[in-house]
Amino acid sequence: MLEGNTNPPLILDEIPRDEQDALLTKVAQQIVKRRLTVPAILFLEICKPINFIGSQILIALNPFLQSICNTAEYQKFALIIERDENVELLIQLIEKLDGEEKK
């Protein structure tokens, strides 16, 4: 996760691509596991045009969520969804994992 670095990343470029993919996969797995595929995809599709604003809101809420979740991963996820292509990748991962679960 944060090997040797105790500070969360401040920009997306500080997060290696393989770590971004792993975190998006983890989020997609949790969505599918909870059977929230349709609501999650609908929400992500609706929010695609304003994903940067949503990302900044997540970053602003970080201090309030420190006691209930892994803030390093939360911070990374907030940075990752700043980019449109990452939101689309998350949607594709959710669809793929949901399709595999239904087989």
Predicted model pTM: 0.86
pLDDT at 33 exceeding the cut of 90 = yes
Is 43 among the domain residues? yes
| Chain center to CA of 4 | 23
Is 59 among the domain residues? yes
Is 87 among the domain residues? yes
Q: Determine the structural domain holding residue 61 and report its residue range.
A: 16-102
Q: What is the mean pLDDT of residues 77-102?
A: 95
pLDDT at 3 exceeding the cut of 60 = no
Q: What is the mean pLDDT of residues 18-42?
A: 96
List strand residue ranges (DSSP E) for 1-103, in order: none
Q: Domains in the chain: how many in total?
A: 1
- Position 6 scores a pLDDT of 61
Residue 68 is classified by DSSP as: T
pLDDT tier at 22, thresholds 50, 70, 90: very high
